[in-house]
Every structure is written in C-alpha cells, then in structure tokens.
Amino acid sequence: MKEEIQIREWEKRVRRVVPYTPGEQPKRQDIIKLNTNECPYPPSPLVKRLAAEYRTDPLRLYPDPDASELVQEIAGYLGVGEEQVFVGVGSDDVLAMAFLAFFNSTKPILFPDITYSFYDVWAELFRIPYRRPKLDGTFRLVKEDYLAENGGIVIANPNAPTGVEEEPELIEEIVARNPDSLVIIDEAYVDFGARSALPLVNRYENVLVVQTFSKSRAMAGMRIGFAVGSKKAIGYLKDVKFSFNSYTMNAPSIAWGAASIRDEDYFRETVGRIVATRERTKKELLRLGFTFPDSRTNFIFASHSSIPARELFEALKEEGIYVRYFDRPRIDNYVRITIGTDEQMDRMISFLERYIGIKRDM
Ligand SMILES: *Cc1c(COP(=O)(O)O)cnc(C)c1O
C-alpha cells in the first residue's frame, strides 16, 4: 500500500513567510541583558505614579481610537501639528502599516543590505518587490543607489545594527530627489545624539519619520511608536490603519506614553547617562583591541582583531552576558552590544579583559 502525501489546496494558499527573529528574552533574571537595545533604566517616575494609581473601571470601554492624549503630547513636544502624528503599537506596527499603505508599486523598494532585519520580512509578507543596495566598506549609504527608479525607500538613521549616522544633507537629498516615492526614515535611535529628519516633514510631503518609546524612553514593554509626516501622508496612513484595527493603542499605553513625554527632564537625564556610558565603553573596547563604526546609538557594533565574534558571543553568554550576534554575510564577525548601566559595562569589560588575556597567553 502506497501512502500518498497530499498537499491540500488550503495549504498551498497559505501566505508563507520566514518570520523575523527577535533577540532572545531569557527567563533567567540574573543575566546582563545587552542584546535587544532596551534601556537599562526604568521609565519616568511619572509613569510609575500613573501605573500605581491606575483605575481599572474605564477598561470596560474601548480606548480612544485616535489616541488623542498621546498624539497631542507628541505633537506639542516636537512642534508639529496633531494631524501630522500617527501612533502605533511600537514602531514595528507603525512601519508595517506604512509598508502596507505606501509601498504598492511594481518597482522595487530600496533599503540597504545591512539594516533592520524586519524590512525584508514585511516586504515578503506584503509581496512588495525590493532591492538591497550594498552599504560601502565603512557601512555608509552609497547615495547614487537611492537615486535609481524605485517604489519607495526605507532608511534607518542611525542604522541598526551598525550604529552609523548619515548626514542630514544626504537624507534630505534622497528625499528631495525622489518626489515620486515615499521615503521612510526609521529613527529608533535618534535620541542618543543623532540629527533627526523631522525638519523635513514640513518641506516634503513624501517623507515619514518614525520613532519609538522602546529605546530612549525605556518603554519597550508598553509598545508605543509613532510616525511624523505631512498631513497628507499621515491621512493615508490612518485610512489604512482604520481599515485594519481601530483600537490598537490600549488605554494605559495612551495615558502612560503621554506622561513619559511630559517628563522631559527625566528623559534628558536618562539619555545623557547612556551616552556618557557609551563614550566610556568605546574607549575600553578600543583598548581591548576592538574596532567599530562610531556609534550614535545605545549600542556598539564591535569586531575584535583576533577573536571571532561568534566565539565572543558564546563566551559572553556562558558568563551570563547576552549580546547580539548576526550570522549574516559581511557582519558575521561583529557583536552588537547594548549600552547598559555603568556597572553592567564594567562587568562585561572585566570579563573581556580576562578572556582576551587568557587567549593571548595561550
Ligand atoms: C527597535 C527597532 C524598531 C522597533 O521598535 P519598537 O518600537 O519596539 O517596535 C524599529 N526599527 C529599528 C531600527 C529598531 O532598532
């Protein structure tokens, strides 16, 4: 008797994708977690107070579909109109909606070969054709690549996982010379000392600047992200969002996110601390024989002169220090190290010192 393997029609119709793999979120509490670019400090004390006082009765009602309180705070903080702000469940949600809304051409969208690895996943999911021009040898964009015909452009600036910031003039030129394309600038890390493309949103209709509360605002667990753009572009984005799910932003996210924006002092202090720790960590890593592109983010993308990155990644993990390793062409000899507290970085540095020392003496 021959058994037939039959693939049913329903299965052939599945919209198949290879999903994005996020960094590990280990269950263990005792590790030093430097693998997903979270903030090592807690959210603003204002958020803590609101959470402690939170009344659950209103949860029986649907939340405000426009998330007005949060939108108002963001618009006021950035000095743009409320109709220029779109909020979502993390910038991943905002970016996915933007891909769905704006990338609807038979021409390929463009993003670099080395960048946030969710872009190609969304392109695959939505069946958007794409091309990935190579960054140059120093992980910089090659401008000409983005002046070719395209169906849209996505640039993370500063880029992930490299940490490299592109000049605002380059970003503007790409936006200006692509009037027929929507250009997304993903600024997940902009608060750590890079220059934002926000000034462009009042001068160009075709640019969308996307930011998040997950890194600099220590609220990755709340899932809040936003886009800022022309009134027209934001309008199109809202139409798609409200055709998908009206109530993505839950009531606590709206209220606590707004509180985080109100506490500007705490935000500046936290970001300042992380930047100071980053600059100190750069010096230590250089001393230990690492090289890295200069980082304007809350992580350092480092390669060692003699020890392979994969080995370092595993040795650190063994020690309970989690960093990120990408087994991909051109970047498989780098580890991406999130900037933690000073104490966490000291522990990592002293482990590396010992490890590299022992290897050297062997
Ligand atoms: C972390 C990150 C995001 C996603 O952030 P969420 O707001 O937590 O969804 C988007 N883009 C880049 C480049 C990131 O590093």
Measured by CA distance, the residue closest to atom 11 of ligand 1 is 188
Measured by CA distance, the residue closest to atom 12 of ligand 1 is 188
Short-list 71, 54, 26, CA closest to 257:
71
Asked if pLDDT for residue 286 goes beyond 90, the answer is yes
Specify the ligand 1 atom closest to the Cα of 213.
Answer: 7
The pLDDT of 326-335, averaged and rounded, is 96
The pLDDT of 99-105, averaged and rounded, is 98
List ligand 1's pocket residues with C-beta within 6 A: 37, 90-92, 116, 156, 160, 186, 188, 212, 214, 220, 225
Asked if pLDDT for residue 199 goes beyond 90, the answer is yes
Residues of the chain with CATH 3.90.1150.10: 23-42+265-361
| Rounded distance from Cα 226 to ligand 1 centre (Å) | 11
The two beta strands, 85-88 and 109-110, are unpaired
The predicted structure's pLDDT at residue 1: 55
| Rounded distance from Cα 91 to ligand 1 centre (Å) | 6
The predicted structure's pLDDT at residue 5: 81
The predicted structure's pLDDT at residue 248: 95
The pLDDT of 140-154, averaged and rounded, is 98
The pLDDT of 297-325, averaged and rounded, is 97
The predicted structure's pLDDT at residue 2: 59
Asked if pLDDT for residue 155 goes beyond 80, the answer is yes
Asked if pLDDT for residue 314 goes beyond 70, the answer is yes
* pLDDT tens digits for range 257-283: 999 999 999 999 999 999 999 999 999
* pLDDT tens digits for range 37-58: 999 999 999 999 999 999 999 9
Asked if pLDDT for residue 237 goes beyond 80, the answer is yes
The pLDDT of 8-36, averaged and rounded, is 91
Specify the ligand 1 atom closest to the Cα of 212.
Answer: 7
Q: Is 320 left (phi over 0), alpha (psi -120 to 50) or beta?
A: left
Short-list 39, 302, 24, 311, CA closest to 163:
302
Q: What CATH superfamily is the domain 23-42+265-361? A: Aspartate Aminotransferase, domain 1 (3.90.1150.10)
| Rounded distance from Cα 92 to ligand 1 centre (Å) | 6
| Rounded distance from Cα 274 to ligand 1 centre (Å) | 18
CB 88 within 8 A of CB 94: yes
Candidate from 21, 154, 186, 296 with most ligand 1 atoms within 8 A of CB, to mutate: 186
Residues of the chain with CATH 3.40.640.10: 45-262
- Give the bridge partners for 324, in sequence order: 336
The predicted structure's pLDDT at residue 256: 97
The predicted structure's pLDDT at residue 3: 64
| Rounded distance from Cα 264 to ligand 1 centre (Å) | 21
Q: In terms of pTM, does the model score above 0.85?
A: yes
The predicted structure's pLDDT at residue 25: 87
Fold of 45-262: Aspartate Aminotransferase; domain 2 (3.40.640)
SS (H, E, C) 208-252: EEEEECCCCCCCCCCCCEEEEECHHHHHHHHHHHCCCCCCCCCHH
Asked if pLDDT for residue 15 goes beyond 60, the answer is yes
With H, G, I as helix, E, B as strand and everything else as coil, classify residue 87. strand
